[in-house]
Amino acid sequence: MERVIIRGVGSYVPECILSNADLEGMVDTTGEWIVTRTGIESRRICLDTEMASDLGCEAARRALENANISVCDVDLIVVATVTPDMRFPATACIVQEKLGGTDIPCFDVNAVCSGFIYALDVARNFLLNNSKMKNVLVIGTEKMSSIVDWEDRSTCVLFGDGAGAVVLSRDTDENSDAGILDVLIGADGNLWRLLRCPIQSPGGNVGNISEEGYFIKMEGREVFKEAIKRMCSVAEDVLQRNNLTIDDVACVIPHQANMRIISAIADRLKIPKEKMFVNLQHTGNTSAASIPIAIDEALQNGKIQPDDLVLTIAFGGGMTWGAALIHWK
């Protein structure tokens, strides 16, 4: 049976650190409130001139190097982002140019914080259904600082910028079972209003919400409850349909939005703390970049080992959710 493996991983965050102490000087908040309510201590922020394509390109370079291939070997680039450089072209095309590639199909996916899992599913299906494709670059990249309302204390303390990338390849090793075992994605469009960022449009916005500005708006408590509910159920569903239990999983990589959400999921699914990977202390919520950045850090910290079963779980605006089960190569 054809198997698709993650052959290389890379990530990149901008140099500039925005600490909770810095935010105390910007809005009516305290470092203590931010840490106790979210677990976040600092986040990385782009320079004005640094775009999502720059972060994504650097993460991709590192993933290609890790996979020991060059951009010439890439058959498709999929970028997950809600902060594209432009309305069009796709950020994936701009990344292709920055990587020095030519003639590679490119497109973006928007599933907000679940974007990476959606893109992973799309990329995996391309590989499984098109025998001419060998390697696909999947990138999650976000410049969330460009859509944050820096006067809204209820959201501006949450987000950060960064990018993560993976190279997916078809594996031909007959002695291995490694690969992406399954990906499950879902969405409830009836809940889109809970987390949104309108775009400027001469015709006005759906729901007449254009007057609220063109920044992130979130009904925090509702999103919080929905995030726990959906991430628990998608994790349970993907395990169940593969006849696995949480005891089979060596490492869980949840979307890095809030430490209290991650702890609630760990409690409900009875996941021991040491299996739950957390890096939001120094990244904040990087939306579609959150999971690939966390995968890269987990690998570097030795939290993911060859042959491990890894479960990633995402949730975001839409509302969208997703989970991937990966038998690590």
146 binding ligand UT7? (CB under 6 A): no
178 binding ligand UT7? (CB under 6 A): no
19 binding ligand UT7? (CB under 6 A): no
Shortest distance, position 262 Cβ to ligand UT7, whole Å: 10
Has 113 been annotated as catalytic?
A: yes
> Of 64, 86, 83, which is closest to residue 74 (Cα–Cα)?
64
215-274: contacts with ligand UT7 (CB under 6 A): 220-221, 223-224, 227, 257-258, 261
The token pair at 144 is: 């969330």
In what helix (H) or strand (E) does residue 163 lie, and over which residues does it extend?
A: strand 162-171
Pairing of strands 135-142, 162-171: antiparallel
- Each residue 269-308 as x (binds ligand UT7 by CB under 6 A) or -, in order, gives ----------------x-----------------------
Distances (CA, A) of 328 to 4, 8, 153, 266: 11, 11, 39, 21
> Of the residues 106, 197, 232, 255, which is catalytic?
255
The token pair at 74 is: 């890439």
Cis geometry, peptide bond prior to residue 51 (ω within 30 degrees of 0): no
Span near ligand UT7 by CB under 6 A; candidates 10-18, 120-128, 150-158, 178-186:
150-158
Distance CA 291, CA 11 (A): 10
Among 24, 33, 229, 263, binds ligand UT7 (CB under 6 A): 33
96-115: contacts with ligand UT7 (CB under 6 A): 113
Shortest distance, position 215 Cβ to ligand UT7, whole Å: 15
The backbone torsions φ and ψ at residue 45, rounded to the nearest 5 degrees and listed phi first, read: -130, 135
> Of the residues 57, 93, 113, 197, which is catalytic?
113
Q: Are 81 and 54 in contact (CB under 8 A)?
A: no
The token pair at 214 is: 């063109």
Bridge partners (DSSP) listed for residue 76 = 136
Among 18, 93, 157, 269, binds ligand UT7 (CB under 6 A): 157
Among 56, 198, 316, 318, binds ligand UT7 (CB under 6 A): 316
Catalytic residue IDs: 113, 255, 285
The residues of the shown chain that bind ligand UT7, judged by CB under 6 A, are: 29, 33, 37-38, 113, 153-154, 157, 220-221, 223-224, 227, 257-258, 261, 285, 315-316
